[in-house]
Chain A
Amino acid sequence: MSPIEGTLLQLNSVAGAFWEIVALTFRVTGTATLISAALGIPAGALLGLSKFSGRRFIVTSIYTGMGLPPVVVGLAVYLTLSRSGPLGGMEWLFTPWAMVVAQVIISFPLVAGLTMTAIEALDPDLRLQLRSLGAGRRQEVAAMLGEAREGVVAAVVAGFGGIISEVGAAMLVGGNIESQTRVLSTAIVLETRRGFFGLALGLGGALLGMAFMVNFIFLRLQGRGRWPVR
């Protein structure tokens, strides 16, 4: 069989599966990014605005979390969700939910930490101004986040970027099961392992294309649109 025939055979066998893989990648990483942002942005804002004992410890932990090897997170999540582990009864291992859990843990420190620094970088007078205008606590935080929105969106972009291409944890807790937990990154590893480098590169291109599209949308979030201040 010539290399071209071989590649065409591979592509054909993978075509139907390709969109399934892309869809699952969107769903898993989209969900994880949403949860991570929902948890990380408020956490980062609070850290940026408050002083309390133990704050330095928490900030150090978050910075350390940014550098956590994702595969170690995957191992910890695997051991926790394993049938022999403490949360085995949930039957989440080798399902997309386990992948979401791992991805949230990986991206949360990035989102929280970078939101925190974005808030810290704001002019402190702004806060005084808001208070003197009679802003309540929630209004104050929302307004500060709105002012810092470039940094906040960058925080979410960093979190998203960290998980869309992550493969070690996704393999460990997802298992790369065909049609169930196979996402773009794990599919690339599979095809590379099989020696189908052309196909692996193609999948890599798809991954980059997807990330580019999403980041383009994020960029628009930075510039336009009014952030709600009620």
Chain B
Amino acid sequence: MAKFDTPKLETYLKTPALKRDSMTGGGPFKANADMQKSLGFPGEKVDNWQQVAIEKMADTISKYRSLPVFLDACVKCGACADKCHYFLGTGDPKNMPVARQDLFRSVYRRHFTFAGKYFPKLVGAKEFDEAMLDDWYNYFHQCSECRRCSVYCPYGIDTAEITMAAREVMNAIGVGQKYCNQILGKVKKIGNNLGMPEPALRDTLLDLEEEIEEDTGVAVKLPLDKEGAEILLITPSADFFAEPHIDGLIGYAKVFHQSGASWTLSSYASEGANFGMFIGNYDIMREGALRIRKAALDLGVKRIIVGECGHAWRVAYSFWNTLIGIGGGAKDEYARQLQNQLDQNYPQPQHIIEYTYDLIQKGQLTFDKSKNDHRTVTFHDSCNVARGSNMGGIANGQFILPREVIKAACNHFVEMSEGTIKTSTFCCGGGGGLLADDLLELRVKGALPRMQALKQSEEKSGVNTLAALCAICKSQFTKVLPYYDFDPFMVVSVHQLVSEALILDGANSQQESKAL
């Protein structure tokens, strides 16, 4: 890993001058032949890769309307140019959303448009040569698919769609990224991103039960593979082992316990994350989701609830009904089978935040908010939740509900500045399959806009806690906060705040709040 300088936090976020090629390079580690083959991709770069790539582009363009529309419609107005956190953090012009898209668009124009075929120079059409492929691999792995650019584009052009298509094309010629494809292989084989088998998961959950009982005196359970449970919880596997994620899992368990619900985790579908989305592959995304469908059918659950994970919630909320029929309103037999089993009095699937929020609204949870009085909390809207989903079925519910849950558990909540939250939220810098150690420089620099906003709220309001509801955000912040002189332990799960303030029936009256 080459040394790099952490960007300085100024008093406000500046748009950098262009620093050409500042992030040029070979990109993240490539997947080896085994990893590629396990997903059905060629093991190594195929000999006639250009031909295969162009054919794959044609195929993808014919299957996803977003591609021909987005590739044709861009007028190069530059509205998106200063909106990407990776551009703001690095100044590399190829990290401007439009320039990143243009890596794809220039090849599209050369091979699929009249102007590009006959007047390539005039319209910036380019051949798909080795240098272009290198740029594709490098810069399409400097996009976290956060969709911030699409919010500002007058035509709604979403670079995430282009990045996904580019990764799909590269995988088809045998050029895949190690981080994503290795993880997808583990899900396929074992059921979660970690490759954590059932016995290890069971042990972890038992340890947690002991820990909670020691802490509170209440026997809060974390059931696994419990047939006939009402609720199946699907959560990112990071919740089982990583800090601060695990304290969020404890929070979900306490909420379920307090509500008296019967719930379970599944060892077969022990992963909420779905990296199939990151590589833009419908079949792999569907395959991952099918494990959840099978678990729901096997366990006979009535409700499916999703834990704190950004892209998992986008996949669950926006795609599950399409992919595997978890949702409502299906006309086809395949989806109706499952929908008949699920209790349609509740949204399917539901987010754990929606579940907790409902209980709070009904007055079924009581909090001792003073337990969180040592915290001044701000909330990081995770990109996939903010721009790719909803909560509560109300307009802007994905912004309202998490804040209401935090405010129910904490006395001191402040917002970061406008333009950095809600629809305009900045990615943490590690999303979209970029949470790899070999991309550390990119991750640190890409976190700059969020760190800037955090710094401002620290100086203005004394913020000392950053709440998030995405496993990737939590891991990424824990890693990059120290580069900007913040305490890495200031990151918490939203449900950790819930966990610390929730009053459990029969809990030790002398319960101490855990010292940080």
* Chains A and B are bound partners: no
Residues of A within 8 A of B (CB): none
